[in-house]
Structure 1
Amino acid sequence: MSRNTPPPVEKAFPADTADIDEGDEALDEFSDAIAPVTLKMADDACGVRLDKVLSGLIPAYSRSRIQQWIEAGYVTVDGAPAKTKMTVLGDELVVVTPQIAPEEKAFQPEAMDLDIVHEDKALIVINKPAGLVVHPAAGNWTGTLLNGLLHHLPSLANVPRAGIVHRLDKDTSGLMVVAKTLAAQTDLVRQLQARTVKRQYLALVWGTPQLSGQIDGAMARHPRDRIKMAVSESMIAKPALTHYRRLAVGALDGRAVSLMHCRLETGRTHQIRVHMQSLGFALVGDALYGKPHLMPFFPRQALQAARLGLNHPVSGKYCVWSAALPPDFAELLVRAGIDQAVSDALDE
């Protein structure tokens, strides 16, 4: 290996996780940094920007990533921190300490307090708090439920997406099921596709919807705002069906609010939020689909996945789990003058 040839790049997650058994500490062995790369600058590099020279000598890393390392102090020139936009003179000794990118850390375990409602050999039922992202993605590469699950049970590295079969929005609280084996995950995904998984939610909305009904509105990305979803007649829109029932009416600052029981037949992104807004009844606290001037009443969408029912993937027995309203949601109902007891009026 020549002095200008970088060492092999280690992956931040094992390429083959099939041999990771429960209790294996292999996932904890990855450090934040890969071995430093020492390079001697050639005379013919004189006058060329350092980041450009380095991107040519270490082609495994992009120029933009090398620039980030220079700015963060992970590149030295003759023992001193490199400066952005500096040019090479020739004969300098440059040391680069590569850093694992955030997205490459996404599937590492992190210690986390998980509210586990039920756990057996096939599945885990989690009561997810508001504010917790379920799966790593841009802007949230760490600190997700997936990271916590890998710490709780390292063998979940053997299961795609660490056993996650469905998601809740970051600011939605409540119940989720996680498969502990590939067989259980396959079974649960098939149940979701067959619509035999029963998911019931509690939502506080602005206004007073009719006592009950259903919203049968296909959904797709919003045509102008790609962050949003929308009821759509587009050819690519996917079927979405929500059943709803009004449980109680209250008021916040003189404005009517209603506690709604929503039951999903499908599980589209933002489904309840979009469907209720399509009727003119946005969720209290919903910054994306609600009214900005009403946001101070609650810092997140008032939505709780309150009950989850499914056929156990091993025994076949129908199982149901419930979760009480979190303190912030319960306090919101008190402020609205709604008796929290009505939140227990869910379908069996």
Structure 2
Amino acid sequence: MKKTIAWFFVILFSALYAFASYGDFEKTIDFRNKSNSVFGSDKYKFGDLFGISYYPMIKQDLSKTKRTFPVENPKTNKKINLCLAHDSYLGKDFLASKKQINSVDTIYDLEYPWFRGRANAPVNLDTSKTNVLVFEIVERNLFRLDKKAALNIVNIAAANEILALNPEIKLKPVKKKSKIKQFKEIIFNTRINKNLEFLLFDLRLFTPFKELKSYINHTFFNRLPPEVFISENQKQEYISDVKTSIEDKLTVSETEKTVALLNEIHDFYKSKGFDKVYFSIVPNPVAIIKPEALRYNGLIPMIQNSPNLRMPMIDIYTDFKKCDADLYFFSDTHWNFNGFTLWINKFNATLNADLSSD
């Protein structure tokens, strides 16, 4: 009997480990988030920050938020071959359709290497179209963008025309992962602990208890998980990484290093055949939302206003500062649909103006 019970638990926990190591575990997360049962999950329904803190006084159902102004999508006569190198701010929940971007014929959806750990599909540069590359990154991750990551995110599989016109281009062959490497990545999944925690403990059944614990800790002991903090007016939850925007003083030499990197990225991809290369820095919410914004260190303006900058910028910082609407979720790290719409409108307007002047 004891052996039977022991084997039962061995098989059970082995199955749980294997399931949590499953490469497409995100489908499980999506399914649990959409489930209305007590075995569903509230970890992401009310924002990723709520899923860390479970603080009930700042709680927003992301599925019920709407944009308050429309997407402006001017048309051009040119076909666009668009590569978007981005983080989660331009993830699938926002950029749901290429109809939101003017005259786009093809979209290559490229994620930063650290974001989900996946290799990006090859990009085919088409000389019959205008090849456009856009880098988007949230401000708090800007200093994480190193040269190696930036110059390898776009896996270029150039068309024969590009190679013929530019024989100096040296393309690295795309290496497929071996079966052994794939097996190792499953067994030694770096997200295994978080996946197991989500699988076993992030049940809607436990949400009221987690909220009560969080409320008591914050109200009486001024404590929250170290990954998050709450605004001075108690209306916005932030990820702790954005504290750099209000605590770190910047020097010209620091920002000029980033300017030099952006210039190198621009020149590199222009040499590979892209007609247009842009960069866009999404402001940390504390750079826009008061009262923290009063102490903003000014990273984005310092970079965008540098006299040495050659990289064309999609400047949404200025647009965000002028906008009176809510641009960020209250209990999530990301912009809401208003923030995204401002970005897509600014990108469309910038690209349209550049193509019209060519």
TM-score (norm: length of structure 2): 0.26
Higher strand share: 1
TM-score (norm: length of structure 1): 0.26
Higher helix share: 2
- Give the number of the structure with larger relative contact order, counting CA–CA contacts within 8 Å between residues 6 or more apart: 2
